[in-house]
Chain A
Amino acid sequence: MSKRATDPQILTANRLIDGRVVYWQGAGWAESLAEAEIFDDPEAADAALKGAARSVAERVVVGTYLFAVRLDEGVAVPVKARELIRAAGPSVRRDLGKQAEGLFSPPPVHAQVRHARTTPGPARDPFDVSI
């Protein structure tokens, strides 16, 4: 099995009425990535995605899909920049989007320290998308 297939996953969508990014949190949709349910089991993830058809039918969300995360001390960090940016807001406008509304929390310090230990070079915040 490829590495990608074993990554934990999160279920996401956009809210119909305003387009805002939301995450499945087990019993409904949350606005913050930190509240998202993390699926370790691909089958459970697929089942949740199927189940989300109901939210679509009920006109709560549109465009449901799963994306991969890696766990860093229990904190889910999206594998792709795209999902980091969806979770936070535009990287070029830190004053806008969830990052400006208290809906995007950077990972705990120990996660950053751990990251610094395992990657060569200076300590890097895994949520840091600066270029």
Chain B
Amino acid sequence: MYRYDEFDARFVAERVEQFAGQVARRLAGELSEDEFKPLRLMNGLYLQLHAYMLRIAVPYGTLAPRQLRKLADVARRFDKGYGHFTTRTNMQLNWPRLADVPAILRELATVEMHAIQTSGNCIRNVTADHFAGATPEEIEDPRPLCEIIRQWSSLHPEFTFLARKFKIAVGATVHDRAALLYHDMAVEIVKNAEGRTGYRVSAGGGMGRTPYIAQLMCEFVEREDILAYLEAVLRVYNQDSRRDNIHKQRIKILVNAIGAEEMRRRVAREFEEIKAQGYLRLPQEELDRIAAYFAPPKFEPIAEPVAEYEAARTKDKRFADWCAHNLAAHRAPGYAIATISLKPIGGVPGDCTSEQMEAIADLMDAFGLAEIRVSHEQNLVLPHVKKRDLPAIFARLSELGLATPNAGLVTDIICCPGLDYCDLANARSIPIAQKIAGRFADLKRQEEIGELKIKMSGCINACGHHHAGHIGILGVDKKGVEHYQLQLGGSGAEDAAIGEIMGPGFTAKEITDAVERVVDEYLRLRQPGERFLDTYRRVGMEPFKNVAYLEQLHAAY
């Protein structure tokens, strides 16, 4: 795990005291709300429907047990005993009092946590593959680069007041688990023809009102040049983006207005200029120094197959089901990557109680697990689990209600808070996700359906990644009534695509039936080996549209 150096610790401590002063001045009337709002947003504090909301950063989604315990502790003492993990891999508290926020931030600082760069027009919390450092597929752990980008961008004077927020993700595998191409900038760690490691950089992706897939900027950036290259992209964005219209200020609008070709040309020119001026190189020693913090635990040599694990799978069907869906291959023999689903059927996607967080932290300590990951799919991931420990871990997770065997299945729904909490929402999303999950609760049926990613947002801001859902659902307000638009064919993986809108929206009562008919139609049409997405890509929207609106047709006749 990355540990703060003195500079980091001082920076966070100063920031907390600065914000404590700002809160005191606000409460004393020395700051108006207009003056205070940008300051609180810089510290991750929003005002939502029922209360304030504090968004706590989980850099590259990595937490140590002591940090998870602290999150549980602040949620219990200053909130209502639970937190919500988001698609940005942060954790949100839904009910903090303004007067308590300085105390919360002081508590978080004791475990090197904060709420900086979770909001505002800056470079946001950099995200990574949640299997980083554990998957056999990767070239190297992407998190050291995330951390370097964090340090470089944290206080960069040129990039503190960007036109809009700027999100960067880093991946290192062909299989994209971090929705890379939906970011303002995507960095993929790659090897070139000579076998040298470097970076493929894309820019201009994003969700929201106008979704775009990122465009390739450079096929191969040399390792030491990466910060200079990122700086070049950001500088072009900073100089050329439109600041006059809030809907046109993201880099995706610039890239698509001038075209990828022209953007590449401008970035290349800027890059040459930065280099000519004598620029910040990323020295290998610095990369190595940071990478050392992320070194994996020393893996024990364990022979496969692991007898205890195999025996438990044969004996216990529930355990076998969980293994089949929630485990992924690990780089070391005898180990596995385990997903803790935060999507119990009927639960709130991404919510986790203080008791659960503490119990997970205890479990991590008991089994020597130094870190846990938050995934953008709103689940938790134990990256380095010994297979022989899995039966005991599963038993403990079952007691905690955290052993739902649905990772990657149709009930593993990404869902934003929507109108149950969010001030910007047009419609509720959680109860719809719950109803859909309930409809498909039967595990056999889920297995029959296979990989199907449903993603849902309560408004066009797309925090629930609906554009990237194989089935995307968007809440809209139709004359004061909650309605739901269906989108099909999106993907946030390496085959990234933007979902296509089916047509008029459905009511809250209709949407679950419509989704079910679409899924049943897929089962009818699919060819062997096809996922929902593959079938959709082969047959197009028409057959699904024909079945989805059945209820409306009946009503009309």
Contact = CB atoms under 8 A, between A and B. Distances in A.
Partners in one complex: yes
Q: Is the interface of B mostly helix, strand, loop or mixed?
A: mixed
Contacts of A16: 26-27, 33, 98
B137 interface: no
Interface in B448-488: 480-482
B27 A89 contact: no
Contacts of B509: 131
Contacts of A97: 50
Best-surrounded residue of A82, A86, A93, A96 (most CB of chain B within 10 A): A82
23 contacts: A14-B47, A14-B51, A17-B97, A17-B98, A18-B51, A18-B98, A18-B99, A19-B48, A19-B52, A20-B51, A21-B50, A58-B29, A62-B33, A81-B482, A82-B49, A85-B49, A85-B420, A85-B428, A90-B50, A92-B428, A97-B50, A131-B432, A131-B508
B435 A131 contact: yes
Q: Is the interface of A mostly helix, strand, loop or mixed?
A: loop
B45 to A, nearest CB: 10
Contacts of A80: 480
B50 A19 contact: yes
Interface of A: 14, 16-21, 56, 58-59, 62-63, 79-82, 85-86, 89-93, 96-97, 130-131
B419 A82 contact: yes
Contacts of B99: 17-18
A113 B219 CA distance: 68
Given A19-B98, A81-B427, 19 more contacts: A16-B98, A18-B51, A18-B98, A18-B99, A19-B47, A19-B48, A59-B26, A59-B29, A62-B33, A80-B480, A81-B481, A85-B419, A89-B50, A90-B421, A90-B430, A93-B348, A93-B420, A97-B50, A131-B508
Interface string B36-58: 00000000000111111000000
B158 to A, nearest CB: 33
A91 B420 contact: yes
Interface in B89-116: 95, 97-99
B296 interface: no
B431 interface: yes
Given A17-B98, A92-B434, A86 B50 contact: yes
Nearest to A84: B419
B47 A62 contact: yes
B97 A19 contact: yes
Contacts of A131: 428, 431-432, 435, 508-509
A17 B49 CA distance: 15
A87 to B, nearest CB: 10
Given A17-B27, A17-B98, A80-B480, A90 B47 contact: no
A118 B503 CA distance: 32
Contacts of B27: 16-17, 59
A96 B95 CA distance: 10
A65 B19 CA distance: 28
Contacts of B29: 58-59
A122 to B, nearest CB: 13
A18 B348 contact: no
Contacts of A18: 51-52, 97-99
B47 A20 contact: no
B49 A92 contact: no
Given A14-B47, A81-B428, A92 B97 contact: no
Best-surrounded residue of A81, A85, A93 (most CB of chain B within 10 A): A81
Contacts of B421: 90
Nearest to B348: A92
Nearest to B417: A90
B98 A81 contact: no
B262 to A, nearest CB: 42
A11 B97 CA distance: 22
A90 to B, nearest CB: 4
B243 interface: no
A89 to B, nearest CB: 6
B173 to A, nearest CB: 35
Contacts of A62: 33, 47
B80 interface: yes
Given A16-B98, A62-B33, A131-B508, A81 B419 contact: yes
